[in-house]
Structure 1
Amino acid sequence: MKILVAGDFEPDYNRTKIILDGLRTIPAVFLSFYNYKEQSKWNLAALRKACKEADVIFLPSFTHQDVAMIKFLSGKPVLFDPLISRYLSKVFDYKKVAKFSPRALKNYLKDKIAMQLADLVICDTAGHRDYYHRTFNIPLRKLHVVPVGVNTDEFQPAQALKVRDTFVVGFYGGFIPLQGTRMIVETAKVLKAYPDIHFRLIGNGFEFKVIQQLVQAYQLSNISLAGWVAYDQLAEEMNHFDICLGIFGETLKADLVIPNKIFHYAALEKAIITKESAAIREVFTDGRDILLTENKAEAIAEKILLLKNDQVLRGKLARGAYETVSGRYSHRAIGQMVYELAKQLMPA
Structure 2
Amino acid sequence: MKIAFFGSYNKNYARNLILRESLRQNNIEIIDFYLKSERNIFRKIIELFKIYNNNYDILFITDNFRKFTFYDILLAKFLSIINRKKLVIDKIISLYVSGVIEYKHYKKDSWKSLMIHLIEIFSLKLANLVITDTMSRRKLFIKFFNGNPKKIKRVFLGSYDKIFYPRPKNNNKNKFIITYYGSFAPWMGIENIIKAANYLKDYEDIYFELIGDGPTFNKINKMIMDLKLNNVKLYGRVPFKILPDYINKGNIMLAGHFGQTIKAQITIGNKVFDGLALKMPIIVTNTIAIKELLTDRVNCLISKIDDPISLKEKIVELYENKSLRDKIAINGYKLFKEKCSMQIIGKNFKKYLFSLYEK
Residue in structure 1 matched with residue 230 of structure 2 by the alignment? 221
Residue 14 of structure 2: aligned partner: 14
Q: Which one-letter code corresponds to 1:20 in the other structure?
A: R
The C-alpha deviation readout for 1:188-238, integer Å capped at 9, x for no partner, is 111122121111110000211111121122121111111011110111110
Q: Secondary structure at the match of 1:18?
A: helix
Alpha-carbon distance between aligned partners in 2 of 1:193 and 1:96, rounded to the nearest angstrom:
41
Matches within 5 A, 1:80-119: 80-119=89-128
CA–CA distance in structure 1, aligned partners of residues 323 and 121 of structure 2: 48
Question: Quick check: 1:132–1:138 contact (8 Å CA) kept in 2?
Answer: yes
1:262 aligns with 2:267: no
- 1:60 is aligned with what amino acid? T
- How many residue pairs get matched? 346
- Provide runs of 4+ in structure 1 moved above 4 Å: none
Q: Which has the higher mean CA deviation after the structures are superposed, 259-268 or 93-102?
A: 93-102
Query: Which of these residues, 39, 44, 49, is aligned with residue 46 of structure 1?
Result: 49
Moved more, 75-84 or 336-345: 336-345
Q: Secondary structure at the match of 1:34?
A: strand
Structure 2 CA distance for aligned equivalents of residues 158 and 301 of structure 1: 27
1:281 equivalent in alignment to 2:291: yes
2:166 to 141, 154, 157: 157
What is the CA–CA distance in structure 2 between the aligned matches of 1:72 and 1:277, rounded to whole Å?
A: 39
Shift of 1:95: 3.9
Query: Any unmatched runs of 5+ in structure 2?
Result: none
Separation of aligned partners in 2, 1:164 and 1:33: 48
Bigger relative CO (Cα 8 Å, ≥ 6 apart): 1
- Residue 356 of structure 2 aligns with which residue? 345
Q: RMSD of the TM alignment (CA)?
A: 1.9
Compute the displacement of 1:135 (Å). 0.3
Cα offset for 1:156?
1.1
2:78 maps to amino acid: F
Alignment correspondent of 2:346 = 335
**1:2 aligns to 2:2 (yes or no):** yes
- Within 5 A, what are the aligned runs for 1:73-222? 73-75=79-81, 76-222=85-231
Residues 60 and 82 in structure 1, CA contact (< 8 A), matched pair in contact too = yes
Give the percent of matched residue pairs that are identical in Structure 1 and Structure 2: 31
Residues 56, 345 of structure 1: 8 Å contact kept: no
Question: SS of 1:134's equivalent?
Answer: helix
CA distance in 2, matches of 1:44, 1:308: 55
Q: Which runs of 5+ in 1 are unaligned?
A: none
Q: CA offsets per residue over residues 266-290 of structure 1, 9 Å max, x none?
A: 1111111111012001011111001
1:262 and 1:22 mapped to 2: Cα distance? 18
Which deviates the most, 298-307 or 41-50? 41-50
Are residues 1:298 and 2:301 paired?
no
Query: Which residue of 310, 332, 336 maps to 2:321?
Result: 310
Query: For 2:283 and 2:108, how far apart are their aligned partners in 1?
Result: 33
Shift of 1:331: 1.0
Equivalent residues of 1:82, 1:123 under 8 A apart:
yes
